[in-house]
């Protein structure tokens, strides 16, 4: 009578590990894509929420409210990074440097942004602050978040519309982690936005 045995033979174990390795190698890229897509979607949703806050506060206050890139800790984290003394009236009058003449890297929205309301004259109130989108990611990783745009700020009027002089008639922001993962946020003159799935900043805008 043959003796009973429990467990796997060496051959069975090797075959099982081989199958597991194949499945894992197939699933790993899909999981990575899922994580990158989730990260981009989360950042885009935070950006849209900040715009919605700026728009609703402008209507409620009856005064313009702006969304701008936050300054660094070394500069002034409570000021727009491109000009610490810039007021919303300056933004409306386009007194910032011409955005269209500069590369998008001059406007690092991935470093965070502020929603700012003018209280009285040059007195500003911070309504919301977003920290860096890369605070948990090493700068030299290929998955570093970048935001491609020529817009240094957005200003919403008391009617909830984007101020006509704000950068361009239809502002666009492209959020990307790498060349295969991106979302473009498109605005119209009324201040409403929509998100377009795109894999490159060079893809025709908001088609």
Select the more confidently predicted residue: 94 or 52: 52
| pLDDT at residue number 48 | 94
Residue 8, CA distances (Å) to 14, 56, 145, 158 in order? 10, 65, 47, 73
Domain layout of the chain by residue ranges: 11-197
Structure confidence by residue, pLDDT tens digits, 41-85: 889 999 999 999 999 999 998 888 888 887 654 445 455 554 444
Would you identify the CATH topology of the domain 11-197?
minor pseudopilin epsh fold (3.55.40)
Residue where the block lists tokens 């200003």 = 155
CA pair distance 40, 98, nearest whole angstrom: 28
Q: Provide the 10 A C-beta neighbour count for residue 155.
A: 26
What is the DSSP-derived secondary structure letter of residue 56?
H
CA pair distance 207, 56, nearest whole angstrom: 27
| pLDDT at residue number 77 | 46
| pLDDT at residue number 117 | 84
User: Three-state DSSP class for 192?
Assistant: coil
| pLDDT at residue number 29 | 59
**Residue length of the chain:** 207
Structure confidence by residue, pLDDT tens digits, 151-194: 878 888 888 888 855 556 677 888 988 777 788 888 887 888 88
| pLDDT at residue number 99 | 44
CA pair distance 99, 88, nearest whole angstrom: 16
- Measured in whole angstroms, the distance separating CA 183 from the mean position of its chain's CA atoms is 9
The answer to whether residue 140 scores a pLDDT higher than 50 is no
Residue where the block lists tokens 């957005």 = 154
- Residues 189, 170 contacting (CB under 8 angstroms): yes
Q: Name 68's Cβ contacts closer than 8 Å, sequence gap at least 6.
A: 80, 81, 82, 86, 91, 113, 114, 116, 152, 153, 154
Q: In what order do the strands lie in the sheet with 153-156?
A: 123-130, 113-120, 65-69, 153-156
| pLDDT at residue number 59 | 92
pTM: 0.70
| For residues 139-157, average pLDDT | 75
Q: Provide the 10 A C-beta neighbour count for residue 187.
A: 22
């Amino acid at each position: 009578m043959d003796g009973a045995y429990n467990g796997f033979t060496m051959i069975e174990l090797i075959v099982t590990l081989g199958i597991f390795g194949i499945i894992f190698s197939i699933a790993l890229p899909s999981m990575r894509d899922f994580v990158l897509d989730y990260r981009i979607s989360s950042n885009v949703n935070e950006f849209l929420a900040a715009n919605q806050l700026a728009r609703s506060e402008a209507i409620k206050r009856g005064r313009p409210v702006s969304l701008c890139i936050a300054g660094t800790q070394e500069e002034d984290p409570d000021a727009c990074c491109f000009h610490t003394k810039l007021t919303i009236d300056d933004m409306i009058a386009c007194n910032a440097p011409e955005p269209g003449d500069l590369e998008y890297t001059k406007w690092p929205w991935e470093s965070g942004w502020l929603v700012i309301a003018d209280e009285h004259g040059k007195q500003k109130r911070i309504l919301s602050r977003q920290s860096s989108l890369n605070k948990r990611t090493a700068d030299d990783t290929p998955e570093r978040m970048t935001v491609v745009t020529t817009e240094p700020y957005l200003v919403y009027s008391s009617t909830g519309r984007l101020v006509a002089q704000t950068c361009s008639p239809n502002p666009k922001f492209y959020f990307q982690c790498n060349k295969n993962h991106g979302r473009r946020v498109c605005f119209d003159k009324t201040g409403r936005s929509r998100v377009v799935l795109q894999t490159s900043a060079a893809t025709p805008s908001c088609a």
